[in-house]
Amino acid sequence: MTPAPALLTDLRVRAAYSEGAGIYRIVPEGVAVPRSVEDVRRLAGWAADTRTSLVPRGAGSGIPGGNVGRGVIVDLSQGFHELSVDARRRVARAGASVTAAEIGAAALPYGLRLPPDPSSAAFATSGGLVATNAAGPRSVRYGSVRRWVEAIEIVDASGEVRWVRRGGGRGERFALDDAERRLVEARFPKTRKNSSGYALDAFAASGDELDLLIGSEGTLGMVTAVEWRLDPIPPDRAGVALGFADLAALDDALPFLLALNPSALELLDHTLLSLVAAGSAEGMGAALPDLACLLLVEFERETAAAARGVVGDAVRGLHHHTRHVETAVDRDGLAHLWAVRRLASPALARLPETRRSLQVVEDGCVPLERTADYVAGLRETSRGRGIELAMFGHAGDGHVHVNALPDTTRHGWREDLAAVLEDVTALLLQLGGTPSGEHGDGRLRAGVLGRFVGAEVAALFQDVKRAYDPRSVFNPGVIIPAAAWAPLADLKVGEAAAPIPDDIAARLRAVERGAEWTIPKTGLAD
């Protein structure tokens, strides 16, 4: 029997870990803050012996509820700080708590970077990035983090500590036969990005166990360190903002712009542009005409002339559609151009209870050619259900972040929100999409996976879970749904929210509004 670890069980501490980004509040039974791989190994052994659920956690910025739960939260953000760059091999070795921004800063002096650039780079940890197969605006050219993970150190359910490497083979725990491989090929969505379910498609293609573990959301083991592959920073960048009066223009604009090989191709819809304009101290976005949407495009090239040239191609090629054009060819211009995108999340986070931003359908991704249909379908849902939907995100990947803005002081808002969730799930199914392009399933989407991939692939997901975590110790209810799956139970908003001390609730709200996810959560309880 493994000795019991030191757990924090004071209500104030547990309350401080009851929320992450996203919609949930669930008070855990305890919190563990391991500082070493040996601490993590002992925790895993103790949890297996006592059948205690463990919820691995980094910064807590993950959105669909994989970072909260009723068991013991394992806060991996307070140890695991090691970071070194091997410029010759173009590799960074980072402890689980090291953020994407910290890796970027360490790689910069060598002219290197980690190409996926999540908007949450300042706080998203290496463990969280790998566990969710995170992505960002530049994923349109450089893919999700999967492509950039060379190896991970993992502590599994048996308490074994090992490095799992790219090219290291399929491991001993799980395999697909030929028929299952064909099934996966037939049933997985044909989208440019997918962070939903276990990545059996990537696993089948590479034959690498690493691909099963990336995106497994803390359900198969705990990541204690990551070896990241780095890439040289391209010499030159330029960009353009293109405004459209009609969403239907996306049908032409997206494939045209993609053919020019952009490094980012982002969308902001009218609702979001209005929110940014209303909330920004600098009046950002107020100068934009009345647009249906804005596309922000970045091009990385070997020379300044090439970068400027392709911006010109984009502007000329779409001039029949555009109502607004702003180009940027230097650092200041680019910063100004992208400010409106950077202000999107803060603008949503600070909305009042009468227009509370709730992420229940925030991560859908469709085949690129269905993007305009998806946005039009979302608009229809919004009108039909009387809930405003603000949209932004990675149009070049057919991937749109959608924040529902219900008036949570109005009677019946939960029912309307549930209807939005069902409508959008049905829309994604109809368009051949996936419910998650980069955030993962968490608790929110676990119960719909079977509808997307079919019962047989869902059964393979169960097989993966059993093979790695036979006692279901790691993050039960995430990816594999709980028997009583209820996506809109345990909300942090409304009268039914779990009671926690008022001052902690206020601090958690401040963290969310200010995106202060790097603050150690134990400190919130002081």
Closest distance to ligand FAD from the beta carbon of 313 (Å): 27
Distance CA 434, CA 437 (A): 7
Question: What token pair was written down for 129?
Answer: 């990035």
Residue 29 or 416 having the CB closest to ligand FAD: 29
Q: Residue 469: CB partners within 8 Å, gap ≥ 6?
A: 156, 157, 219, 220, 221
Handedness of CA 174, 179, 183, 184 (dihedral sign): positive
Residue 318 or 464 having the CB closest to ligand FAD: 464
By CB under 6 A, tell whether 62 contacts ligand FAD. Answer: yes
By CB under 6 A, tell whether 345 contacts ligand FAD. Answer: yes
Distance CA 411, CA 513 (A): 25
Candidate list 150, 209, 217, 227; residue touching ligand FAD; CB under 6 A: 217
Residues 338, 516, 417, 413: what is their CA dihedral angle, to the nearest 10 degrees?
-120
Closest distance to ligand FAD from the beta carbon of 143 (Å): 12
Closest distance to ligand FAD from the beta carbon of 66 (Å): 2
Closest distance to ligand FAD from the beta carbon of 187 (Å): 23
Distance CA 280, CA 297 (A): 22
Binding mask 443-462 for ligand FAD (x = CB under 6 A): --------------------
* CA distance readout (Å), 371 to 109, 342, 384: 39, 22, 20
- 118 to 177, contacts with ligand FAD by CB under 6 A? 118-120, 124-125, 127-129, 131-132, 134-136
Residue 124 or 240 having the CB closest to ligand FAD: 124
Residue 127 or 285 having the CB closest to ligand FAD: 127
By CB under 6 A, tell whether 61 contacts ligand FAD. Answer: yes
By CB under 6 A, tell whether 59 contacts ligand FAD. Answer: yes
Taking the CB of residue 190, how many other CB atoms lie within 10 A of it?
12
Candidate list 8, 114, 223, 372; residue touching ligand FAD; CB under 6 A: 223
By CB under 6 A, tell whether 83 contacts ligand FAD. Answer: no
Element (H or E) spanning 323, and its range?
strand 322-328
- Side-chain-side CA neighbours of residue 327 (13 Å): 14
By CB under 6 A, tell whether 515 contacts ligand FAD. Answer: yes
Candidate list 63, 424, 427, 525; residue touching ligand FAD; CB under 6 A: 63
Closest distance to ligand FAD from the beta carbon of 69 (Å): 8
Distance CA 72, CA 68 (A): 9
User: In whole angstroms, what separates CA 493 from the centre of its chain?
Assistant: 21
Q: Residue 126: CB partners within 8 Å, gap ≥ 6?
A: 58, 94, 95, 96, 97, 98, 99, 100, 103, 223, 225, 226, 228
Q: What one-character DSSP code corresponds to residue 448?
A: G
How many angstroms separate the most distant Cα atoms in the chain?
A: 72
By CB under 6 A, tell whether 472 contacts ligand FAD. Answer: no
Candidate ranges 52-60, 175-183, 311-319, 414-422; the one touching ligand FAD (CB under 6 A): 52-60
Candidate ranges 2-10, 50-58, 232-240, 244-252; the one touching ligand FAD (CB under 6 A): 50-58
- Please work out the total of residues on this chain that contact ligand FAD, with binding judged by CB under 6 A: 39
Question: Could you list the residues that contact ligand FAD (CB under 6 A)?
Answer: 20-21, 55-63, 66-67, 76, 96, 118-120, 124-125, 127-129, 131-132, 134-136, 217-218, 222-223, 345, 438-439, 475, 478, 515, 517
